[in-house]
Structure 1
Amino acid sequence: MVDRGASALSLPDDWPAHPDPILALNRMGSFDWDLDTGLMNMDAQAHEAFDVRPDEYDGRPETLAGRVPPGEARRLDALVAQAIKDGSENYGAYFRVRCRTGELRWTHTQGYIRRDESGRPRRIVGIVRDATAELDEFAAHRQQASLDEARRRQTNVVQLTTAALAHARTVQDVIDVLKDTHGLIHLGAASLVMGLVEAGRIRLIAEGPAGASVPGTRITRIDEPYPMGEVVRTLSPRFIESPEEFAADYPILWPHLTDLNITAAAYLPLIVQARPIGAMGLLYNDRHGFTPEERNILVALGSSIAQSLQRAMFYEEEKDIAQGLQQAMLPRTIPSVPGADVAVRYRAGSAGGVLGRDIGGDWYDLIPLPGGRVGAVIGDVQGHDTHAAAVMGQLRIVLRAYAAEGHTPATVMARASVFLHELDTDRFATCLYAEADLGTGVVQVVRAGHIDLLLRAADGSCRRVPVPGGLPLGLSAEFRSLEYPVTTVELDPGCTLLLTTDGLVEQPGDDLDDGMRALAELVDAGPDDVWALADRLIEVAEERGGDDDVALLLLRRRPPDSPRTAGRLQQHVAPGDAEALTQARHMIRAAVRAWGARERADEIELVADELITNALMHTEGAAIVTLRQLTGADRRLRVDVEDTSSALPRRREAGMSGVSGRGLMLVDLLTDVWGVEARGGGKCVWCEFVVPAPT
């Protein structure tokens, strides 16, 4: 080791005849090397530094070759030659000297090169001293610094790992943290194994690297002779400090680890509230033993991992419960709707690891309605918790019931708002309800504080449909503002309605209109198939992430190869209005003949007359008669007679002289199919007749 920057010695010209006594006091020897003659004079202290007696040294530097190892001598000679060549005034170097006993010890020399007026080197004067104690102290400092650095590095890894574990939400997240760049591998572990305690057994949830799996250890009993079972039983860590110890204590496991070159291992119990939830093993291939500091660090880290693991297990359990509740509240199946293709999707939001908040109040529903109509619902209850999901489930059921009763879309929305207001909850909900007649393509839409729907044309182009709306459900009832305007939309064959919640549109800091335009562009560029389009939209939501849920409903009207309404006539008949009754009969007769069903005209007219008469006789209100022509696989005529009574008609046996009781028997005999449907505030008795196609 060379000290090229050593300061020049200030020595008198007659040195070393009169050496500086300070050198002797500091156990430093001196020398004077005459470069012209090659002789080098040394004092007694210098002789002692080289461990030679005065009678063993003849003044020639070559005589010291027996004391300086060849490699050290070459390095020292090269150093002096370079200093002379490049014009340096001094040099310094550490080198080793072999003593009489054969021991090597460190020595330090420092020389001053004296030159004549022409710059030619003539003499080198300097000092030499024993540097063993100095370098031993330096080595001790370096060793301590190395230990401090290793301890600091391990502590840093623990801090980084603990900080990363704080963000782990699932068990897999915990495993990923431990295998990450800043994980336990930086502590020198070559392999990691982790297991959870389940019903008296340990089930492995992580092991590595690839190919390190041990047959038969995927699930083991706690009482089996494996180190993970031992630390779970004893609640104490197990440090294995040599391969011999591993082989002796665990003869069943050790033969499977020989290819991994394991030299030491640390098995830690994962304990939470004095109860073991699992165990973890770290296997090393470059370590022999563990210092007390290393053991303490690993135990502390095991405690941190156990806490994170339990938190992740709680989160997953809570998430399973929440998702189960969410799925139970949503429709289990979506009914098949003649004349339409329907796709629904739901994506749970992510609430940043808050337990119980990966569930929300978003929902969708599809409600088959009489007369080839269908109701499509999308909604969002305020909040992200189980209470929001519970409110959503109740609201979905009552809204479905109101729609099935035959209420108009505006009435359905108003009644749902009153129900939510009376539910004794502080939550409100946004909702959009679209009632579509798939025969005519007429869609009636009402909106309660929800985002607008999108309409995709048959050519794939997509646009936003502005729908005037009312207040959100619950709030409109509270503020006594239950008016919900109805917007009519034409749904041509091949067109698609898209109903969604704001989780697919809104992003923090973004404008809603921008989000709607972006969604329209995404739909415009999406696949034609409604199921593939729904998958694509949810994929985008997954890639984008976010805390909000997403509910999605797509309804596409099929081209006219399925049954659809080809004609529709309606007549209102008031009680005691003979003229209206006559007009209804003439309407039915004329329509049946005009539609090419003359062969069954008498049957249709007779059955319709019977249903109208029953409605007027057995109820207090008016009757509404509707006649429709349905085309498709077969051609049918349908008669609907609505009244305001919820009492269902009953078939009765007529007596020998009775004048009533034969009406429903006649309907059953003459029609191909008939039935009764509940309508808002009343009922509808309907029947259908299959008629041949016109020639």
Structure 2
Amino acid sequence: MFRRWPADSSDELLLRLGSLTARARELAETQRSRVELAVALQRGMLPPDLPSPPGVRLAVGYMPANHGLNVGGDWYDAFTLPDGHIGMSIGDVQGHNIEAAAFMGQVRVGLRALASVTGDPGELLSRTNDLLVSLGADLFATCTFLRLDPAAGTLECARAGHIPHIWATADGRSGIDDGEGGPPLGVLRGVDYPVTCHRLTTGGVFVLLTDGVVEGPSLHLDDGLDQVVRLAGITAVAGLDVDALATAVMKLAGTVGHEDDAAVLVVGHDGGTAWPTRRPGEGE
């Protein structure tokens, strides 16, 4: 035998359900707005144009993490330094929310501002690190900063807890940078960041990545790096355009099964400038 509920109880239940539904919709809309704001902030912080000195080609790829409620803080940047060198950075902020996106903006702006004072990658990361520590933020960032001398083809690199970059040459050599790095930015004050030196040879490429490109549930980090090494090697040997390499790397990022940002910055030498021949002992 069915029990009949009083009419007033049914009406009250419907009112409560309606109120809960409206509240859930309001919360979902608020979160959607926060995600859209964070993605807009991320994209607004990326450089609208890239430097194009003779003989040098730059290409980038970027995929924000907007799956569900995840919003990350990856970035790339490239700009001309006061001495005519090219400064390039790529990095990843801890966390997946609007605070991470905002902190990404602070790191990127800090790097650009301090680069006008010193272009040395190690000193630049040290000063940026101390600045972030002094701000007392609860977040930290991994980062690679690269300084390119377009006239000589020399590259100086410093890493702050970031995954290593990848290189390849037109004569068939390729690999993963094994230079020493330092801890992430914003954790410990007074840290020194070692600088490694390389040469960008004719037809060669350097690939800077964030871990969202090469690591996820479907791909182990080492395997992802190896795949990018293969792609970079094919590009260099076949003389392909750096834009094609950036596109291929971002396609790889779409297969790793992650919900993280993904960014890539490719540096290539197209032979437009007659740089000195690589001397024995100079690293790639």
User: How far did residue 392 of structure 1 move?
Assistant: 1.1
2:51 alignment partner, SS class: coil
Residue 75 of structure 2 is aligned to residue 363 of structure 1: yes
What is the CA–CA distance in structure 2 between the aligned matches of 1:435 and 1:369, rounded to whole Å? 9
Deviation by residue 1:449-495 (Cα, 9 ceiling, x = unmatched)? 11111012125653111110111112231xx4x12111111211221
Distance (Å, rounded) in 2 between the aligned partners of 1:509 and 1:342: 29
Q: Does 1:336 align with 2:52?
A: yes
Is the alpha carbon distance of 1:435 and 1:318 closer, same or farther for their aligned partners in structure 2, counting shifts above 3 Å?
same
Which amino acid counterpart does residue 545 of structure 1 have in structure 2? G
1:513, distance to aligned residue in structure 2 (A): 2.6
**What is the CA distance between 1:417 and its match in structure 2?**
0.5
Deviation at 1:542, TM superposition (A): 2.1
- Match for residue 380 of structure 1 among 92, 105, 114: 92
Partner secondary structure for residue 544 of structure 1: coil
Whole-Å Cα distance in 2 between the matches of residues 325 and 348 of structure 1?
11
Q: Deviations over 1:420-448 (max 9, x none)?
A: 10112111111111111122121111111
TM-score between both structures, scaled by the size of structure 1? 0.34
1:429–1:474 contact (8 Å) kept in structure 2: yes
Does the CA contact (< 8 Å) of 1:338 and 1:563 recur in 2? no
Letter in 1 for 2:112: R
**Are the aligned partners of 2:51 and 2:86 in contact in 1 as well (CA < 8 Å)?**
no
Q: Deviations over 1:553-580 (max 9, x none)?
A: 0111231x347689xxxxxxxxxxxxxx
The counterpart of 1:558, out of the listed 257, 270, 275, is: 270
Structure 1: segments with no counterpart, 5+ residues: 1-271, 275-302, 567-695
Stretches of 4+ aligned residues off by more than 6 angstroms: 306-312
Do the aligned residues in 1 keep the contact of 2:163 with 2:211 (CA within 8 Å)? yes
What is the root-mean-square deviation in Å for CA atoms of aligned residues? 2.9
Aligned equivalents of 1:348, 1:533: Cα separation in 2? 19
1:146-171 per-position Cα deviation (integer Å, ceiling 9, x unaligned): xxxxxxxxxxxxxxxxxxxxxxxxxx
1:270-298 CA-partner distances (Å, limit 9, x unpaired): xx957xxxxxxxxxxxxxxxxxxxxxxxx
* Partner AA of 2:57 in structure 1: D
Residue 200 of structure 2 corresponds to residue 491 of structure 1: yes
In 1, the alpha carbon distance for the partners of 2:244 and 2:31 equals 32
Q: 1:553 to 1:333 in 2, by over 3 A?
A: same
1:319 and 2:35 aligned: yes
| Secondary structure, counterpart of 1:536 in structure 2 | helix
Tell me the residue number matched to 1:448. 160
Query: Could you tell me how far apart the structure 2 residues matched to 1:307 and 1:391 are?
Result: 30
Q: After TM superposition, give the deviation of residue 540 of structure 1 in Å.
A: 2.3
Give me the whole-angstrom Cα distance separating, in 1, the residues matched to 2:29 and 2:255.
25
**CA distance, structure 2, for counterparts of residue 393 and residue 551 of structure 1:** 15
Does structure 2 conserve the Cα–Cα contact (< 8 Å) formed by 1:367 and 1:403? Answer: no
Alignment partners' CA distance in 2, 1:491 and 1:314: 47
| Counterpart residue type for residue 341 of structure 1 | R
The letter for the 2-side match of 1:496 is V
Counterparts of 2:74 and 2:229 in 1: how far apart (Å)?
21
- Aligned mates of 2:249, 2:220 — CA distance in 1: 19
Listed as ranges, the matches of 1:584-603 within 5 Å are: none
2:174 is matched with 462
**Correspondence for 2:260:** 548
Instruction: Find out whether 1:530 has 2:246 as its counterpart.
Output: no
Contact 1:337 1:368 in 2 (8 A): no
Identity %: 38
1:392 paired with 2:69, answer no
Q: From the superposition, tell whether residues 371 and 311 of structure 1 become closer, same or farther in structure 2 (CA, over 3 Å).
A: closer
Hey, what's the Cα distance between the residues in 2 that align with 1:508 and 1:547? Answer: 9
Q: Is the 8 A contact 2:42 2:75 kept in 1?
A: no
Match of 2:63 among 347, 351, 356: 347
Is the partner of 2:90 in helix, strand or coil? strand
Q: Aligned partners of 1:273, 1:336: CA distance in 2, in Å?
A: 58
Q: What is aligned with 1:503?
A: 212
Trace 1:39-118 onto structure 2 (pairs within 5 A). none
With the length of structure 2 as denominator, give the TM-score of the two structures.
Answer: 0.80
Q: State the alpha-carbon separation in 2 of the partners of residues 563 and 515 from structure 1.
A: 34
Deviations 1:159-190 (A, max 9, x none): xxxxxxxxxxxxxxxxxxxxxxxxxxxxxxxx
Question: Hey, which of these two has a bigger chunk of strand by percent?
Answer: 1
Give me the whole-angstrom Cα distance separating, in 2, the residues matched to 1:433 and 1:472: 12
**Is the 1:497–1:555 Cα contact (8 Å) retained in structure 2?**
yes
Partner of 1:341, secondary structure, is strand
Q: Within 2, Cα distance between the matches of 1:367 and 1:544?
A: 30
Cα pair distance change 1:273/1:338, threshold 3 Å: farther
CA distance in 2, matches of 1:563, 1:493: 9
Q: Which one of 400, 403, 408 corresponds to residue 120 of structure 2?
A: 408
| Contact 2:168/2:174, CA 8 A, preserved across alignment | yes
Aligned match of 1:422: 134
Out of 515, 521, 528, the residue aligned to residue 230 of structure 2 is 521
Distance change in 2, residues 1:317/1:426 (3 Å): closer
Q: Say how many residue pairs are matched.
A: 258
How far did residue 313 of structure 1 move?
5.3
Q: Which runs of 5+ in 2 are unaligned?
A: 1-16, 278-284
How far apart in 2 are the matches of 1:309 and 1:421? 39
- Which structure exhibits the higher relative contact order, with contacts defined as CA atoms closer than 8 Å and separated by 6 or more residues? 2
Tell me: CA distance 1:375–1:548, structure 2 relative to 1, closer, same or farther (3 Å).
same
Is contact 1:499–1:552 with CA below 8 Å preserved after alignment? yes
Select which of 139, 146, 149 maps to 1:434.
146
Amino acid at match of 1:533: L
Q: Answer yes or no: is the 8 Å Cα contact 1:372–1:439 preserved in 2.
A: no
